[in-house]
Structure 1
């Protein structure tokens, strides 16, 4: 399903205020309702929810009915507050912690992307999850998993290696299972920025921009942007918009929707006193990107400091505190969401990326890279740039569909 929207949506990745994602072990619907009430009070219209895979499918042939019921009750509770819900399946990886079922690890070690038994189990799980929610009007659709590609290579300490071709096959099979379970909903997959920036990463820009109902981008300035340019720099404020526009170089549909599925203001890379300004700058820049499906902030509530061993920045990423009080980032996002947003006009100037079709040479697009700096230079000069692969520069119907009238190369910029 390709969902072309004219008005971007505003939402939040739901992190429960009590127990973080371990809340599935002590499911408390009233606490969830209170959390969702505090989210809805910000004027947001959707959440992204995260079942923990090993709790929902502890054995390859056991998907717990009680867990499915709890997920359904969460989605129904969201409907009470006029919130739609997108659900991630294979959790997978969250906030530096891996959550993988025991039937894939240690004595049962099998590759997450290639083992036939594991693939059967994953597909059945995703199909079952989607089917359990298919009749709920506020269910948006499935994301295969949260940055599940991070299991496929470095820097993961114990990666499950896969080739780009096998990665594409895996994605298509998982998305087909989601579609089987809930036909016609918005099903997609989400990679972390290694897909765009790391030369040897098996999940490629072409996978992200061509497989699934929309392109998901996750924008984090602790990836080198803040370290090289500063947390309050022009590049940091434009990073999310850059990723949105970078993704369009590989998209075959000139109006493929792009979902800014994760973006946040991580301290100390973005100092707390600058977080509200960073939020407005980042969101405003993203809204200036055509074909933006929506913006989903990371995350709803802070992590309770009673929980140990999180990286320091993870504790304070919430729009709301653990007692559900809005922070400056929350009031800023709410104010922007309440404003009127006309569809962004086409970006007529395109930076030409001289890259192979499937993007194995990606590091020049990363912070500090040639194309990253060229894009930021154009943006700073007011050009509202987008990107295009050099192989598409003579395709006049494609250029017309995207509204591109000017092509700029690195040579043009000197």
Structure 2
């Protein structure tokens, strides 16, 4: 039923959007262990292959223990290697987003020894541990500032994966993020660039998770979302070809926009991919096409960055099975069918850009931190939204406490708010 109706504000002219399309760079030789013996020629070969697909940027990762093996020691040689990689990407024609504190990568956690064992420090709450991470981000920012192909500096990859071993409250997370974002901005200085943070999906639909939707949608220069089809068993629950799966990234963007205080705040689909067996290899090309095209239907989308560039070589042990097949290139460097599908889709979207259709109907989301899961796969709200989408509507998401806010609704072009059926 209709919950409320508003008059839409006069739309501003919507120039042709320039969406960004990129890939998260995973080195073909040695995965991220390659930082132990960095080979510029191999890295340049990987980056050239990425650029040849038509992507315009990469997101890159160093390992925290190699950068900062002691709380008060940041290794100049390791920072220089990172800067070298950024320059190689620029030479290949790629802009670069740098993640600072890794942290968590592909199911492995990388902690410096000064945070572990007898020296254990909670990385989110210990004041000296926080200041050490801030010092690392300031150092990285100063080392990279001024490069014209640098997109910016992100605090780290999905830092909320570390909460299991580092208990933290939502208020403490806010302090942690605010401190590190300020340090990253200080490091980049007047040269500027994006300053961001990222979290995996529990931040959006994990009940009482200490990393909150509000933190993701309001801190930093834009909102990053990582809509993975294995989260809440989405692909297994609905099927790999289901609308719930193929519209998941689009839904993630709209959900993020609901929590933002700035209606114009951009949203970046920073990680999405086709993990086997959740998405069988035969379905991966169509999944990739649909995911990118559906996300492009969202106003305010900054871009899409695929996970990931290269498969993990099976000579490396103990990865979850899905990690071995997530790349656009296999471990020999051969482009897979999904790479070709994405290249064609990106080329088409660039050749024929169009403005998204208005989302003048919004579905009301009424949840608390303890019932946030209703908005995730399997939840009643998620299923109501995807049902509307399947029926041909393009619903926005609006929070219950803003459903009567005429200014907020008008700024987003929302004319009516409906309750989930």
User: Quick check: TM above 0.5?
Assistant: yes
Residue in structure 1 matching 2:125, options 81, 97, 114 = 114
Question: Does residue 1:241 correspond to 2:250, yes or no?
Answer: yes
Contact 2:361 2:394 in 1 (8 A): yes
Residue 346 of structure 1 and its aligned partner are, at CA, apart by: 2.9
- Equivalent position of 1:315 in the other structure: 324
**Secondary structure, aligned partner of 1:263:** coil
Written as runs of structure 1 = structure 2, the 5 A alignment for 1:56-135 is 56-135=67-146
CA distance in 2, matches of 1:342, 1:189: 29
Q: Deviations over 1:41-83 (max 9, x none)?
A: 0000000000101011101111111111111111111111110
- Equivalent position of 1:343 in the other structure: 355
**Secondary structure, aligned partner of 1:350:** strand
Residue 144 of structure 1 and its aligned partner are, at CA, apart by: 0.7
Written as runs of structure 1 = structure 2, the 5 A alignment for 1:175-254 is 175-183=181-189, 184-223=192-231, 224-254=233-263
Residue 206 of structure 1 and its aligned partner are, at CA, apart by: 0.4
**Secondary structure, aligned partner of 2:46:** helix
Q: Aligned pairs, how many?
A: 401
Residue 321 of structure 1 and its aligned partner are, at CA, apart by: 1.4
**Secondary structure, aligned partner of 2:271:** strand
Name the TM-score, length of structure 1 as normaliser. 0.95
Q: Deviations over 1:120-178 (max 9, x none)?
A: 100000110111100211111111111111112xxx3xx21111111011101100000
Contact 1:21 1:52 in 2 (8 A): yes
- Equivalent position of 1:263 in the other structure: 272
Residue in structure 2 matching 1:172, options 156, 175, 178 = 178
Written as runs of structure 1 = structure 2, the 5 A alignment for 1:276-287 is 276-287=285-296
Residue in structure 2 matching 1:54, options 52, 55, 65 = 65
CA distance in 2, matches of 1:226, 1:355: 24
Name the TM-score, length of structure 2 as normaliser. 0.93
- Equivalent position of 2:396 in the other structure: 386
CA distance in 1, matches of 2:415, 2:308: 38
CA distance in 2, matches of 1:406, 1:141: 37
Residue 398 of structure 1 and its aligned partner are, at CA, apart by: 1.2
Residue 222 of structure 1 and its aligned partner are, at CA, apart by: 1.0
- Equivalent position of 1:408 in the other structure: 418
Residue 40 of structure 1 and its aligned partner are, at CA, apart by: 0.3
Contact 1:50 1:91 in 2 (8 A): yes
Residue in structure 2 matching 1:377, options 384, 387, 411 = 387
CA distance in 1, matches of 2:100, 2:55: 22
Q: Deviations over 1:252-304 (max 9, x none)?
A: 00011000000000011101101000001111110101100010000001111
CA distance in 2, matches of 1:324, 1:139: 26
**Moved beyond 3 Å, runs of 4+:** none
CA distance in 2, matches of 1:367, 1:19: 34
**Secondary structure, aligned partner of 2:255:** helix
Residue 200 of structure 1 and its aligned partner are, at CA, apart by: 1.7
The answer for unaligned runs of 5 or more in structure 2 is 1-14
**Secondary structure, aligned partner of 1:190:** coil
The answer for unaligned runs of 5 or more in structure 1 is none
CA distance in 2, matches of 1:107, 1:362: 36
Residue 361 of structure 1 and its aligned partner are, at CA, apart by: 2.3
**Secondary structure, aligned partner of 1:387:** strand
Residue 249 of structure 1 and its aligned partner are, at CA, apart by: 1.3
Contact 1:7 1:343 in 2 (8 A): no
Contact 2:65 2:110 in 1 (8 A): yes
- Equivalent position of 2:367 in the other structure: 355
Residue 6 of structure 1 and its aligned partner are, at CA, apart by: 2.9
Residue in structure 2 matching 1:45, options 46, 53, 56 = 56
